[in-house]
């Protein structure tokens, strides 16, 4: 019996209209053998959580460049908890100041990837830390 592939949802919360980085990371996940669901631009936390539950994903990777990370990302974690789906791990990447990272992690974000992080490092982190 073959092991089930990890399923990752890549989401772009809020009004951020730049998704090139999210698509690059999504492709890296796909190339590494993960199943990828990409929700597209301008998603609300509610839409992201609903898609994650419906698609039965193991984790959610959020890409955010808009500066709304301290509002939108904790909301995703909060909604997962409300829906009894906190077993879905959440990580993020984007333009996030170092000073904001501890607060994001205390809200439930498992890891924060800042600009310059290689796709290989992101894929390796997911494979080492997410279990289907």
Q: Which of 97, 80, 98 is nearest to 89 (CA)?
A: 80
Would you say the C-alpha torsion 26, 68, 59, 126 has a positive or negative sign?
A: positive
SS3 of 26, please? helix
Q: What is the pLDDT of residues 55-85, one digit of tens each?
A: 999 999 999 999 999 999 999 999 999 999 9
What is the reported pLDDT for 1?
55
In the block, which residue shows the tokens 């890296």? 28
Q: Domains of the chain, with CATH numbers?
A: 7-129 (3.40.50.280)
How confident is the model over 9-38, as a mean pLDDT? Answer: 96
Q: How confident is the model at residue 4 (pLDDT cuts 50, 70, 90)?
A: confident
What is the Cα–Cα distance from 88 to 98, expressed in whole angstroms? 24
Write down the pTM of the prediction.
Answer: 0.96
Q: What percent of the chain has pLDDT over 70?
A: 98
Tell whether the model's pLDDT for residue 3 goes beyond 90.
no
pLDDT by residue (tens digit) across 25-60?
A: 999 999 999 999 999 999 999 999 999 999 999 999
């Amino acid at each position: 019996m073959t092991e089930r592939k990890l399923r990752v949802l890549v989401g772009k919360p809020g009004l951020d209209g730049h998704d090139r980085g999210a698509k690059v990371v999504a492709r890296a996940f796909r190339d590494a053998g993960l199943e990828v669901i990409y929700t597209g631009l301008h998603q609300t936390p509610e839409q992201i959580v609903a898609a994650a539950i419906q698609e039965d994903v193991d984790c959610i990777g959020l890409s955010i460049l808009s500066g709304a990370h301290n509002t939108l990302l904790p909301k995703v974690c909060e909604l997962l908890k409300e829906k009894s789906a906190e077993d879905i791990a959440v990580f993020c990447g984007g333009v996030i100041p170092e000073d904001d990272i501890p607060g994001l992690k205390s809200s439930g974000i498992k890891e924060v990837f800042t600009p310059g992080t290689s796709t290989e490092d992101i894929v390796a982190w997911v494979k080492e830390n997410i279990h289907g």
